[in-house]
A and B are shown apart, each in its own frame.
Chain A
Amino acid sequence: MWHIALFNVLMLVASTYALGWGGAPERVFALMSIVALAASIHVHHDGFLKLDVSLFLVDLAFFCALYLLSIFSTRFWPIWMTGLQGLTVLSHAVILAPPPSAAGYAILEQFWAWPMEILLIVATVRHRRRLTSKGTDRPWTVSFWRSEQPNPR
């Protein structure tokens, strides 16, 4: 189970970095991912031999939270995080497809969390760079008006 230990270390590093040095979206994501991981561990008991509805609901809730984050954040990365989490949600369908594969289900269900944690580190690094170069980095979209106009004045 070395990969679980490695992932936990990666998540610890990424979340600590984001919580300590990230902007508001990075911190919100770090908190959400910790809550989602804790909830996943709490509800998941049966291995990956059949569809885990509780785990599916946790993944779906995380996806919805990320979707909201991607709408209101001034960053691009939440869009990609939402995409990766969407694939985690879709991976639950693997166990329903014939022939059901417990190994495939387990791999796909957990695989997408790796790039998400790496992306979080990259996002925090970029946030720090913007802070250094501009002095500020607005976290949330105040209004969608400007972006909806082709050529606003």
Chain B
Amino acid sequence: MDALRIGRLTEAQRVALRHFMARKTAKQIALELGITPKAVELRLKGARDVLGVSTSAEAARILANAEQNETFRETLGGKTEVANSTLSGSSSSIESESGEAGEARDRKVLSEARTAFAHQPNRWQAGIGWPLGDGDKRNDLSLGARLLWPFLAICGIGVSIGTLVICGSVLSLAVLAIVHAIR
């Protein structure tokens, strides 16, 4: 599986696949996400198309493999052996392979997972998130982020407006001084 394809999955498609992997029906997923079952089907179909597979189960399994996450992220820092052992374990649970073919497959999947996760935010970024939506996005911030963000908003808005007011005042004074000097 081309890791670039996994990287092309949208967040909505990933979420749908994760729910699917948890053996939920389209109706259950729809209820949980607050969308229609038809929209869930569309997301799953989109994911199947992107990954080039025929079943949602296969697509979900591919994503789940790639998201053997924590260990994989550590491997980005060079801890390859730990990741390899974890990956070998997860791979063997999906499809039993041995010998050189199995090792080659593990190496390939590890490489794909590295590529797939290379562009993803780290735990802190994923945890805090941004409290901004495009009108469609639902607030999926963690509890910690929700507790923290109002205070960050106070600081951000306060500093921004304060700076604007101060700059405006200084500018007004400067203009007045220039006008006064000209006269």
Contact = CB atoms under 8 A, between A and B. Distances in A.
Most buried by B among A74, A133, A153: A153
Given A82-B153, A136-B34, A130 B18 contact: no
Interface residues of B, number: 41
Main secondary structure of the interface of B (DSSP, over half): helix
A83 B154 CA distance: 4
Contacts of A129: 135
B147 interface: yes
A144 interface: yes
B143 A71 contact: yes
B177 interface: no
A84 B161 CA distance: 11
A90 B154 contact: yes
A151 B69 contact: yes
Interface in B66-80: 67, 69-70
B128 to A, nearest CB: 11
B34 A74 contact: yes
A75 B143 contact: no
A71 B146 contact: yes
Interface in B130-181: 131-133, 135-147, 149-154, 156-158, 161
Contacts of A75: 133, 138-139
A153 B67 contact: yes
Interface residues of A, number: 35
Given A79-B131, A86-B154, A136-B35, A153 B22 contact: yes
A83 B161 CA distance: 13
Contacts of B18: 151-153
Given A86-B150, A138-B34, A147 B135 contact: no
Nearest to B19: A153
Contacts of B150: 66-67, 70, 79, 82-83, 86
Nearest to B130: A76
Contact of A134 (B22, B34, B131, B158): B34
A5 to B, nearest CB: 24
B52 interface: no
4 nearest A-B residue pairs (beta carbon): A83-B153, A138-B34, A82-B150, A86-B154
Interface of A: 66-67, 70-71, 73-76, 79-80, 82-84, 86-87, 90, 126, 129-130, 133-138, 141-142, 144, 146-148, 150-153
Given A79-B139, A153-B18, 16 more contacts: A71-B146, A80-B153, A82-B150, A83-B152, A83-B157, A86-B153, A87-B161, A90-B154, A126-B135, A134-B36, A137-B34, A146-B140, A147-B140, A151-B67, A153-B21, A153-B22
21 contacts: A71-B147, A74-B139, A75-B133, A76-B139, A79-B146, A79-B153, A80-B153, A83-B150, A83-B153, A129-B135, A130-B135, A133-B136, A144-B142, A144-B143, A147-B142, A147-B145, A148-B144, A150-B126, A150-B127, A151-B67, A152-B18
